Amino acid sequence: MIYTDYLVIGSGIAGLTYAIKIASRFPTRNVTIITKMSEEESNTKYAQGGVAVVLNRTTDSFEKHISDTLIAGDGLCDASIVKLVVKEGPELLQELINWGASFDTGENGEFDLGREGGHSEYRVLHHKDSTGYEIEKTLLQQIDVLPNITLLTHHFAIDLITAHQVYSTAKNIQKCFGVYVFDQKTNTVKTIKAGNTLLASGGIGQVYGHTTNPAIATGDGIAMAYRAKANIQDMEFIQFHPTAMYSKNKGASFLISEAVRGFGAFLRNVKGERFMLQYDTRGELASRDIVSQCIDKELKKTATTYVFLDCTHLEVSAFKKHFPMIYEKCIECGIDIKNDWIPVIPASHYVCGGIVVDENGKTSLDNLYACGECSRTGLHGANRLASNSLLEALVFADRVYKHHTTLLPETMENIDIPDWVEIEIPTLLDIRIIEVYRKNLQKLMRQYAGIVRSNKELEIAVYSLAEIYKKVEKLYKQNSIHVELCELRNMINVAHMIITQSIARKENRGGYYNKDLVTEKITR
């Protein structure tokens, strides 16, 4: 049994920022961070674009950023949360800079702000095209110097500990007591009892297979919260990034940052036509949901598998300066942006819904908090405005921290938590069957719950998912803990929420588009 005052599940910008702040404020209290891979592996690491924040008050304003966010969210944002995040952002960004994060500046020494789809002004702060990596590196450096933080790598969170595990008789207690964790190095399950638990476990991209997310993005935090009966909302709003590089190879799709379109690149169909202006007056700078839906239409009209991103008219030296990682990836793939178009296709990128939290990051369970992509704060509504996610993570990590400074972590000294009970005689697990079920799930979600959905397709998805669920649950109950099997189980839970909440939605908004619902036009 491990006891900690504060438990953080996840090692991205949200979890690390919170951990640094709470550990610094309370040096005699213990903070434990668990992550299922190495400490630097997170969605944050792969964020190319940057942090959307109002810095140039001469041309930009809080009101403009708020308006852009509300428009992108298609009427479903919580306006009070939008205002809160936008206005608190600059101070927290400065705090990150004070910790050592470096961002690009121009010849005049001022920040070189970028512009992305849905933004009316240049306000995206970036570090080349590897902003997330720069932030992750900075935060880990801060973590290393705080002696009251323990970071447990290769520890997989299996399930949250709630009243169901703690009490032998049914009690109407909605509380989190910690988590059961699988230590992948020792192949043992540990019980971690925590005064407060923060889920900062990232996204769900692997549910679709074709994704810009890393392999770790299997929706673990959202699935655990779902099984613990926490409120989950808006899972139907999946944001597909319009421009992932097309490849026949397996694994995460390489992201071509939205900032490239902000830099002036054009989208063209297989006929070479620049098609976006046919759908939206903003052209390539329309919000992501609209651009993805338009690409989907073009692919179906032309019976092709990808469209092109044309950068040939851009100044190559300037492109290389702003997007060195993207340029090198193109060269590696035999694409010379001076002469060649980049084949691109929409890929699952971000879930706008998740675990419902209040303005302090508190979930519907006592002692359980969430922030980052796994949470549903109300900021994004039906569609996230580009580069608002890192901003949201900074703001809500800070708000959870400030809320916890007003509370003593619950000691739980009198709470008796049972150890995890392993299967006595496990079935010999064939790892290949997990991969088969995983691919079937991903194919199902792409076909029936992707960019464009229909009532019939969602009905098929319900039936097909039920069949996969039965088989995987049987495997889970007959075997000892296996990370890939647990991830698949989590992905199935997430898929269930996406499908059922899609069926419940009766109007098209943002990242949700059902062709059977009456909609006058794609644009708004």
Q: Are residues 445 and 301 located together in one domain of the fold? A: no
- The residues carrying an active-site annotation are 288
Q: Is residue 409 part of a domain?
A: no
> Count of alpha carbons within 13 Å of 268, Cβ hemisphere only?
15
Whichever domain contains 262, its CATH number is: 3.90.700.10
If pLDDT is split at 50, 70 and 90, which confidence band does 410 have? Answer: confident
Span 243-261, mean pLDDT? 83
Helices 483-504 and 431-448 cross at an angle (nearest 10°) of 20
Contact 316, 337 (CB under 8 A): yes
Q: Can you give the CATH number for the domain in which 475 is found?
A: 1.20.58.100
Same domain, 255 and 229: no
CA 448 to chain CA mean position, Å: 21
Query: Is the pLDDT assigned to residue 22 strictly greater than 70?
Result: yes
Q: Which has the minimum average pLDDT: 42-51, 239-248, 446-455? A: 42-51
Number of domains within the chain: 3
Q: Which residue range forms the structural domain that includes residue 400?
A: 7-11+21-194+207-236+352-404
**Beta strands 124-125 and 51-52, pairing class:** antiparallel
Q: Which has the minimum average pLDDT: 236-240, 282-286, 341-345, 486-490? A: 282-286
Please, which pLDDT band fits residue 77 given cuts at 50, 70 and 90? very high
Tell me: do 232 and 253 sit in the same domain. no
Q: Span 339-346, mean pLDDT? A: 95
422: in domain: no
Task: Please report which confidence band the pLDDT of residue 251 belongs to, taking 50, 70 and 90 as the band edges.
Answer: low
Tell me the three state secondary structure of residue 55: coil
Write out the DSSP string of 385-405: PTTHHHHHHHHHHHHHHHHHT
pLDDT tops 70 at residue 96: yes
> Which of 300, 325, 347 corresponds to the end of one domain?
347
Query: In the β-sheet with 354-356, what is the strand arrangement from edge to edge?
Result: 232-233, 354-356, 375-376
% of the chain residues with pLDDT over 90: 79
* Mean pLDDT (the chain, rounded): 92
Q: Is the dihedral of CA 178, 183, 186, 189 positive or negative?
A: positive
Residue 43 has pLDDT above 70, yes or no: no
Q: Is residue 217 part of a domain?
A: yes
Domain boundary among 347, 375, 394: 347
Within a domain: 521: no
How is residue 509 annotated by DSSP? Answer: B
* Alpha carbon distance 9, 139 (integer Å): 15
Q: Is residue 202 part of a domain?
A: no
- So what's the pLDDT on residue 519? 58
Highest mean pLDDT: which range of 122-126, 249-253, 411-415: 122-126
Are 83 and 70 in contact, with CB atoms under 8 Å apart?
no
For the residues of 224-293, what is the DSSP string, one character each? Answer: HHHHTT--EE-TT-EEEEEEEEP-SSSSPPPB--HHHHHTT-EEE-TTS-B-GGGT-TTGGGS-HHHHHH
Task: Read off the pLDDT of residues 173-228 as tens digits, 9 standing for 90 and up.
Answer: 899 999 999 999 999 999 999 999 999 999 999 999 889 898 899 999 999 999 99
CA distance readout (Å), 458 to 209, 391, 444, 507, 522: 18, 33, 10, 15, 21
Average pLDDT in the 266-284 region? 94
pLDDT digits (tens, 9 = 90+) for 489-524: 999 999 999 999 999 999 999 999 999 996 555 555
**Does a structural domain hold residue 411?**
no
Q: Residue 61 pLDDT more than 70?
A: yes
Same domain? 272 vs 338: yes
Dist. CA 132–CA 295, nearest whole Å:
27
Same domain, 124 and 215: yes
Domain co-membership, 64 together with 110? yes
Q: CA distances (Å), 191 to each of 194, 303, 397, 414, in order?
A: 10, 53, 25, 16
8 Å CB contact between 331 and 319:
no
Q: In the predicted model, what is the mean pLDDT of residues 132-160?
A: 95
Rounded (10°) CA dihedral 271, 274, 279, 285: 140
Q: Are residue 132 and residue 91 in the same domain, yes or no?
A: yes
Q: For residue 397, what is the domain's CATH number?
A: 3.50.50.60
pLDDT given for residue 39 in this prediction: 73
Q: How far apart are CA 426 and CA 57, in angstroms?
A: 62
Report helix, strand or coil for 384.
Answer: coil
Are residues 63 and 185 both part of a single domain? yes
**Following CA atoms 20, 23, 27, 28 in sequence, which dihedral angle do they give, to the nearest 10 degrees?**
-160
For residue 419, being part of any structural domain is answered with: no
In the predicted structure, residue 424 carries a pLDDT above the cut 90: no
Do residues 399 and 459 share a domain?
no
Is residue 170 over pLDDT 70?
A: no
Q: Do 137 and 218 lie in a common domain?
A: yes
Q: At what angle do helices 388-404 and 79-98 cross, to 10 degrees?
A: 90
Q: Which of 74-88, 285-299, 351-365, 432-446 has the lowest mean pLDDT?
A: 285-299
Q: Positive or negative CA dihedral for 196, 202, 207, 209?
A: negative
**Which of helix, strand or coil describes residue 336?**
coil
Q: Is the pLDDT of residue 33 over 90?
A: yes
- Residue 287: which pLDDT band, with cuts at 50, 70 and 90? confident
- Token representation of residue 192: 């971690």
DSSP state of 124: E
Q: Label residue 45 by pLDDT band (50, 70, 90).
A: low
